[in-house]
Amino acid sequence: MELFPRITKGNPVLVLSRLQLCDLNLDHVGEEQKRQIQQLYLTYNSFSLFPTSICLLSNLEHLDLSNNYLTAMPEDITRLANLKTLVAKNNHFDETSFPKHFGTMHIESLNLSGNRFREIPRQFLKLSRLLSLSLGGNRLKSIPAEIENLNRLEMLYLGGNMISSIPPELANLRCLRYLVLCDNCVQSIPPQLSRLHSLLSLSLHNNLLTFLPREILSLVHLQELSLRGNPLVVRFIKDMTYDPPSLLELAGRTIKSRNLPYLPSDLPANLCHYLDMASKCPNPKCAGVYFDSCVRHIKFVDFCGKFRLPLMHYLCSPECSSPCSSNPQSDTESEEESSVPADRLQRVLLG
Amino acid sequence: MEQTEVVKPETLDDLIKVLHKIFESDTINIEEVQNIVEAYESKPQEWMKFAKFDQYRYTRNLVDEGNGKFNLMILCWGEGHGSSIHDHTDSHCFMKLLQGQLKETLFEWPDRKSHGDMVQKSQRILLENQCAYINDSIGLHRVENVSHTECAASLHLYSPPFQYCQTFDHRHFYLRCNGRCFTV
């Protein structure tokens, strides 16, 4: 069914939703009027072919084609030099649908949730002005490292896909405020994500996380963190695998922990170097050091004064714990509460 | 107890008027309220002015302060937004979908002995215009917009009026007072 839209003079918004449209004819619309249209809504229609007449609306800034049957975006879309927002949720787009030069557009907000993307198209990663990208509810299996090219990105919504890992390059999105990775298959968070200093909200619910990297504590501006529906470790892990240290390491530990001075004139260079490599045990009540032999340990940290999250870190030995308490859980509380301010994280949705 | 004639409220203002009348009395008929709230067919142009969405989490927006016996608010849920598991501090809570869908998961009250996860009772998806009811004797619940493409908006009636609720997680010995109500 064709419709001849009446465009009210001076009104830059044209809404043609829910009209069973499969075609859009703008022949009767004068050039002057075409230039006036800034926002066009064609949602909930029957478009299976992109209505190319849209590309004649030279001042179009906002285009919403959600809930149609579109499979391809034409080359001519790049003619919309002023297009800032493109929304096309719930169509049939996939990673082959977009033209080669789509990446040259000045789009700031792109929402293609509810489509059939199996990967993020290369062209999207060239949209240098992009502030907001939503590909929720698609079929993405991974995030490319080139995501870091979107250096102005503030909002990244990738919930409801099949993503199993996060590239550390994601941490280079210094402007990122909102990161949504819920309803995926993420097994671990790269510690580099602690570099996302602008992050205000992190959505990780319904994934396959068993712990978080300790570095997450440095996300000082984080206000929202959702972790429910993850197989997070809830009980203190008692049996920890531990390869006993070598004689070299035992000797090294003794020297370091007793602060025995050593000079290059005392020892061969390789041993001096080895001693310099000692790592201090992160347990603040322990003065121990370790070289290679350490215990991977899940530690529960109070994030906002109330909830305890399992964070991964290393101890010098399985025996390393506070001498004042026999209960490891309460020991964790007393150690960590003082180091993490209660107001740092306001809301954590768990379990 | 006299029951107010069930007249379908055509507009949001009609609904508010009827609710004021019903809540004049000190006791309410839960089914009656649920039916009337469900009967109002959501018209976005009537409530859009209250619906302020937030990018990062769901919002509470006051619609009517009631007469001290109840309050009415609209909650706006962005894609993926969800609540904690919470109680209703001795209040009746009616929740009607104005737009989109919400998943409601019911949980048992934790007892002192249980150390494990919260026990789920049931789950359902509430569709547009449906009205759910909960109070503390029924249990605790979590409400979520599980859609990655659509927002949701729900109308909530609390009697007595909502001020705070308690939050639960799977280590349920941690309780926390939740945020206060935001007014428009």
Q: Is B148 close to A223, i.e. CB distance below 8 A? A: no
* Chain A: closest CA distance from residue B117 (Å): 7
Q: Is A187 in contact with A165 (CB distance < 8 Å)?
A: yes
Residues of A with CB under 8 A from a CB of B: 66, 89-90, 113-114, 134, 136-137, 155, 157, 159-160, 178, 180, 182-183, 200-201, 203, 205, 223-224, 226, 228, 234, 306-308, 347, 349-351
pLDDT at A115 over 90: yes
Q: What would the pLDDT profile of B96-138 be if each residue is shown by its tens digit?
A: 999 999 999 999 887 766 555 678 899 999 999 999 999 988 9
Which pLDDT belongs to residue A226?
Answer: 84
pLDDT at B37 over 70: yes
Q: What would the pLDDT profile of A17-49 be if each residue is shown by its tens digit?
A: 999 999 999 988 899 989 999 999 999 999 999
The larger pLDDT score, comparing residue B68 to residue B116, is at B68
| A111 token code pair | 């929402």
Nearest-angstrom CA–CA distance, B159 and B176: 21
pLDDT at B64 over 80: yes
Residue A333, classed as helix, strand or coil, is helix
Cα–Cα distances in angstroms (integers) from residue A166 to residues A111, A157, A180, A191, A301, in the given order: 21, 13, 12, 10, 23
Q: pLDDT exceeding 70 applies to what percent of chain B?
A: 82
pLDDT at B69 over 90: no
pLDDT bucket at A159, cuts 50 / 70 / 90? very high
* Chain A: closest CA distance from residue B61 (Å): 19
Q: Which helix (H) or strand (E) holds A273?
A: helix A269-276
Which pLDDT belongs to residue A312?
Answer: 64
Nearest-angstrom CA–CA distance, A338 and B83: 28
Give the list of residues 6+ apart from residue A86 with CB closer than 8 angstroms, or none: A63, A107, A109, A110, A111
| B130 token code pair | 């449906």
Q: Which helix (H) or strand (E) holds B39?
A: helix B30-39
Nearest-angstrom CA–CA distance, A102 and A50: 15
Q: pLDDT exceeding 70 applies to what percent of chain A?
A: 76
- By C-alpha distance, the chain B residue nearest A161 is B148
Q: What would the pLDDT profile of A321-343 be if each residue is shown by its tens digit?
A: 543 323 333 333 333 333 333 33
ipTM for the complex shown: 0.85
Which pLDDT belongs to residue A345?
Answer: 35
The mean per-residue pLDDT over the stretch A251-276 comes to 90
* Chain B: closest CA distance from residue A166 (Å): 19
Q: What would the pLDDT profile of A296-324 be if each residue is shown by its tens digit?
A: 666 655 554 445 566 666 667 766 654 33
Annotated binding site of B: 86, 88, 141
pLDDT at A197 over 50: yes
The mean per-residue pLDDT over the stretch B68-80 comes to 93
Q: What would the pLDDT profile of B6-19 be if each residue is shown by its tens digit?
A: 679 999 999 999 99
* Chain B: closest CA distance from residue A227 (Å): 11
Mean pLDDT in chain B?
84
* Chain B: closest CA distance from residue A286 (Å): 28
Name the residue type at position A275: L
Name the DSSP letter for residue B143. E
Residues of B with CB under 8 A from a CB of A: 55-57, 79-80, 82-85, 116-118, 146-149, 169-171, 174, 176
pLDDT bucket at B26, cuts 50 / 70 / 90? confident
Q: Is A137 close to B169, i.e. CB distance below 8 A? A: no
pLDDT at B176 over 60: no
Which pLDDT belongs to residue A39?
Answer: 96
| Alpha-carbon B146 to chain mean position | 17
The larger pLDDT score, comparing residue A345 to residue B63, is at B63
Q: Which helix (H) or strand (E) holds B21?
A: helix B12-22
**Long-range contact list for A183-187, CB < 8 A, 24+ apart?**
A183/A159, A183/A207, A183/B80, A183/B146, A183/B148, A184/A158, A184/A159, A184/A160
Does the predicted model carry a pTM greater than 0.90? no
Alpha helices, H only, A29-96: 31-36
Which pLDDT belongs to residue B184?
Answer: 16
Nearest-angstrom CA–CA distance, A79 and A58: 7
Give me the residue from A137, A223, A351 closest to B170, CB to CB. Answer: A351
On the CB side of A170, how many CA atoms lie within 13 Å of its CA? 23
For chain A, the domains span 13-236
pLDDT at A15 over 80: yes
Give me the residue from B55, B80, B170 closest to A182, CB to CB. Answer: B80
Please state whether beta strands A201-203 and A178-180 pair in parallel, antiparallel, or not at all (unpaired). Answer: parallel
Annotated binding site of B for Fe cation: 86, 88, 141
* Count helices and strands in chain A by DSSP H and E runs: 4, 16
Q: What would the pLDDT profile of A44-92 be if each residue is shown by its tens digit?
A: 999 999 999 999 999 999 999 999 999 999 999 999 999 999 999 999 9
> What is the number of CB-based contacts under 8 A between chain A and chain B?
67
Classify domain A13-236 at the CATH topology level: 3.80.10
Which pLDDT belongs to residue A235?
Answer: 45
